[in-house]
Structure 1
Amino acid sequence: MKKEDILLFFILGERVLLDTNVKIVMLLVLTSMMALASHRFGFLDTHLSLMNGVHINNQSSIQEGNLTSKFQKSKNGARVRCNLSDDDGFNLCGISIGLGEESPARGLNLSIYDALELDVVFQAPIDNQKLKVTFRNYNESYSTLEDVVSLKFNTISYVPSTSETPLYVPLQALQIENWWLAQYQIGFDHSQTDISNVSFIEFITFDMPKAGVYDIEVKNAVLRGQLLTEIELLKYIFLVWLVVFITLMIRQRSQLKRALIMDSVTQCYNRKGINQWVSKALVKHTVCLFYIDISGFKKINDAYGHSAGDELLVIFADRIKNSLYPFNENSAVISRLSSDEFLIAFKSLSEDQLEALVKELFVLLQAPFNLSGNKIVVNISLGVAKCSEDIRTFNELLAQADSALSYAKKSDLVRFKVFDEYVAEDIYYRKQVAEQLKNALSDDLLHLNFMPIYDSKSLKVEAVEVLLRCHSDGLKGVGPDVFIPVAEEYNLIKAIDLWVIEATFKKIKQERTLLADVPVTFCINISSAELHNVSFSLHLGTLLDKYQIRPNWIELEITETSFIETDSSSIQILNEIRSLGVRLALDDFGTGYTAFNQLINYPIDCLKIDKSFIDNIGSQNSTAESMIKAILLIAKSYKLVTIAEGIETRDQYHYLAENGCNFMQGYFLAKPMDWQNFRALLCSPQSESLLTKLQEPLIPEK
Structure 2
Amino acid sequence: MLISSSDVAAHAGPIDLHSSICLDGAPGMAQQITHSVYRIRPCALPPRIDGWVWLRLSDPSVLKDLPSGWTLLLDENRFDRITVAATNSDGGVQSYEYSDGQVGHAWAPGGLLRFPFDSPGVGITSLSIGFHHLDGAIFIRKVEARTPDDEAARSTDWLILIGILIGALVSAMVYNLAIYNGRRDRFQFWYAAWTILALGYCLSWTNFLGILDDRLTGPMAVRLSECFLGTMIAAGTMLLLTLIEAEARHKRLLWSGYALTGLSTVAGFAAAADRLLPPLLTDRVFNIVLILDVVWIAATITVAIRRQSRIIWFFLLGWLPVIAVFTLRLARNLGLLPQSDTIDMATFACIAFESVALSVTVAYRLRDIGRTRDAAARTMAIMRAEADTLRRAAMTDHLTQLGNRAAFQAALEQADPLTVLLLIDVDHLKSVNDSYGQELGDNLLRHIARRLRQILPDDTVLARLGGDEFGILIPPAQEALLVERLDSLQGEPWSHAGRTLSLWFSAGQTECIGTPASALHRADRALHWAKQRGGGRRQPYTLEFDRADSLAARLLTDAPHALAAGEFVLYYQPLIDLKTGRQHGNEALLRWNHPDLGLLTPGDFQILLTDETIGPRLQDEVISIALAALSDAGEGLAYIAVNFTGVHLRGAAAGRHILNRLQEAGVPPHRLCVEVTEGIALDHASDEIAEALHILHMAGIRIAFDDFGTGYASLVHLLRFPVDVIKIDRSFVHQLTTPTRNAHEVIRSIISLGKALDKQVVAEGIETEAQATILRDLGCDYGQGYLFARPGPLLQPPIYWPVHDASREVAQEAPSS
Conservation of the 8 A alpha-carbon contact between 1:137 and 1:152: no
Pair 1:646–1:486, CA change in 2 (3 A): same
Partner of 1:46: none
> Is the 8 Å Cα contact of residues 154 and 176 (structure 1) preserved in structure 2?
no
Give the equivalent residue in structure 1 for 2:441. 309
How far is 1:502 from its partner? 1.3
Q: 2:424 aligns with which of 277, 281, 292?
A: 292
Distance 2:484 2:72 in 1: 92
Between the aligned partners of 2:737 and 2:456, the Cα distance in structure 1 is 48
Distance (Å, rounded) in 2 between the aligned partners of 1:652 and 1:268: 46
Tell me, what secondary structure is at the counterpart of 1:453?
Answer: strand
Q: Distance in 2 between matches of 1:256 and 1:81?
A: 76
Partner of 1:527: 645
Instruction: Pick one of 690, 696, 702 that aligns with 1:583.
Output: 702
How many Å separate the matches in 1 of 2:495 and 2:527?
27
Q: Closer, same or farther in 2 for the Cα pair 1:370/1:154, shift >3 Å?
A: farther
Change (3 A) 1:93 1:323: farther
1:531–1:274 Cα change, 3 Å: farther
> 1:365 & 1:645 partners in 2: Cα distance?
25
Cα distance 1:81–1:354, how it changes in 2: closer, same or farther (>3 A)?
farther
Of 337, 356, 372 in structure 1, the residue corresponding to residue 466 of structure 2 is 337
Identity level (%)? 19
CA distance in 2: counterparts of 1:297 and 1:608, whole angstroms: 23
Take 2:785 and 2:735, find their aligned partners in 1: how far apart are those partners? 15
Match of 1:152 in 2: 222
Q: Deviations over 1:625-675 (max 9, x none)?
A: 333332222211111112233444444444444443333334444443343
In structure 1, the gaps of 5 or more residues are 1-58, 102-107, 118-132, 157-171, 196-205, 207-215
List aligned pairs for 1:113-262, cutoff 5 A. Answer: 135=206, 149-152=219-222, 185=277, 192=286, 223-225=349-351, 226-227=354-355, 233=362, 239-240=369-370, 243-244=373-374, 246-247=376-377, 250=380
**2:612 aligned with 1:483, yes or no?**
no
CA–CA distance in structure 1, aligned partners of residues 271 and 595 of structure 2: 122
Q: Which amino acid aligns with 1:405?
A: L
Q: In structure 2, what residue type is equivalent to 1:341?
A: E
Equivalent-residue separation in structure 2 for 1:653 and 1:176 (angstroms): 115
Are 1:65 and 2:84 matched, yes or no? yes
Q: Which residue pairs with 1:694 in the alignment? A: 804
Report SS of the residue matched to 2:604: helix
| Aligned partners of 2:678 and 2:708 also within 8 Å | yes
Shift of 1:489: 6.1
Corresponding residue for 2:521? Answer: 399
Cα distance in 2 for residues equivalent to 1:362 and 1:615: 22
Determine if contact 1:436/1:475 at 8 Å carries over to the other structure. no
Find out whether 1:112 has 2:233 as its counterpart. Answer: no
8 Å contact from structure 2 (residues 405, 465) kept in 1? no
Q: Deviations over 1:51-81 (max 9, x none)?
A: xxxxxxxx9999952246999999x9x9986
- Report how many residues are paired: 553
Query: How do 1:666-685 and structure 2 match up within 5 A?
Result: 666-675=785-794, 678=796, 681-682=797-798
Letter in 1 for 2:711: G
Residues in 1 aligned to 2:198 and 2:216: alpha-carbon distance in whole angstroms? 29
User: What residue number does 2:783 align with?
Assistant: 664
Confirm or deny: 8 A CA contact 2:425 2:469 kept in the other structure.
yes
CA RMSD of aligned residues (A): 6.0
Q: 1:399, 1:179 → 2: CA distance?
A: 83
- The residue matched to 2:658 in structure 1 has which SS? helix
Letter in structure 2 aligned against 1:149: P
Q: 1:479 to 1:650 in 2, by over 3 A?
A: same
Distance change in 2, residues 1:153/1:544 (3 Å) = same
Aligned mates of 2:591, 2:271 — CA distance in 1: 122
- Give yes or no for the alignment of 1:548 onto 2:670: no
Partner residue in 2 for 1:643? 762
Are residue 467 (structure 1) and residue 599 (structure 2) matched? no
> Secondary structure of 2:425's partner?
strand
Are 1:381 and 2:506 an aligned pair? yes
Q: Deviations over 1:68-98 (max 9, x none)?
A: 6999999x9x998644541245397887899
| Cα deviation digits, residues 177-233 of structure 1 (max 9, x gap) | 9999756646777984899xxxxxxxxxx9xxxxxxxxx999999644222666964
Unaligned 5+ runs, structure 2? 1-70, 75-81, 87-93, 97-104, 132-142, 146-150, 167-193, 227-263, 291-331, 333-340, 813-817
**In structure 1, distance between residues paired with 2:440 and 2:554:** 42
3-state SS of paired residue (2:130)? coil
Q: Deviations over 1:290-326 (max 9, x none)?
A: 5221134245436643212123335656887999799
Looking at structure 1, the residues matched to 271 and 641 of structure 2 have their Cα atoms a distance apart, in angstroms, of 121
SS at match of 2:640: strand
CA contact (8 A) 1:585 1:608 kept: yes
Q: CA separation in 2, counterparts of 1:356 and 1:186?
A: 100
Distance in 1 separating the partners of 2:745 and 2:492: 31
Q: Give 1:434 deviation, angstroms.
A: 5.2
Mapped partners of 2:717, 2:708: distance in 1 = 13
Counterparts in 2 of 1:438 and 1:66: CA distance versus 1, 3 Å? same
The alpha-carbon deviation at position 449 of structure 1 amounts to: 2.4
CA displacement at 1:503 relative to structure 2: 1.0
| Aligned partner letter, 2:503 | V
Who wins on radius of gyration, i.e. which is larger? 2
Partner amino acid for 1:551?
P
TM superposition shift of 1:444: 1.5
Give the Cα–Cα distance (whole angstroms) in 1 for the partners of residues 733 and 454 of structure 2. Answer: 47
Query: Which residue number in structure 2 is paired with residue 621 of structure 1?
Result: 740
Q: Return the offset for 1:447.
A: 1.6
**Amino acid in the other structure paired with 1:547:** A
Q: Tell me if the contact between 1:136 and 1:153 (Cα under 8 Å) persists in the aligned partners.
A: no
Note if contact 2:574-2:784 (Cα within 8 Å) is conserved in structure 1.
yes
SS in 1 for 2:127: coil
* Deviation by residue 1:475-525 (Cα, 9 ceiling, x = unmatched): 325434x3254444656544433221111112333x2xx514x24211112
Q: Which piece of structure 1 moves more, 240-249 or 538-547?
A: 240-249
Q: Distance in 2 between matches of 1:224 and 1:504?
A: 101
Measured after TM superposition, the shift of residue 401 of structure 1 is 2.5
Structure with more of its chain in strand, by fraction: 1
Which deviations, in whole Å up to 9, do the C-alpha atoms of 1:577-612 show, x marking residues without a partner? 213321111223333365446523331111223334
Contact (CA 8 Å) 1:134, 1:153: kept in 2 or not? no
Distance of 2:763 and 2:425 partners within structure 1: 33
Contact 1:526 1:557 in 2 (8 A): yes
Instruction: Say if 2:107 and 2:217, in contact at 8 Å, map to a contact too.
Output: no
1:605 has 2:724 as partner:
yes
Amino acid at match of 2:604: F
Distance in 2, matches of 1:614 and 1:418, equals 28
Give the CA deviation at 1:542: 2.8
Instruction: Choose the corresponding residue for 1:500, options 622, 629, 635.
Output: 622
Between the aligned partners of 1:629 and 1:550, the Cα distance in structure 2 is 33
Secondary structure of the 2:780 match is coil
Per-residue CA distance 1:225-273 (angstroms, 9 max, x = gap): 222666964765665465445445555667789999989x96479xxx9
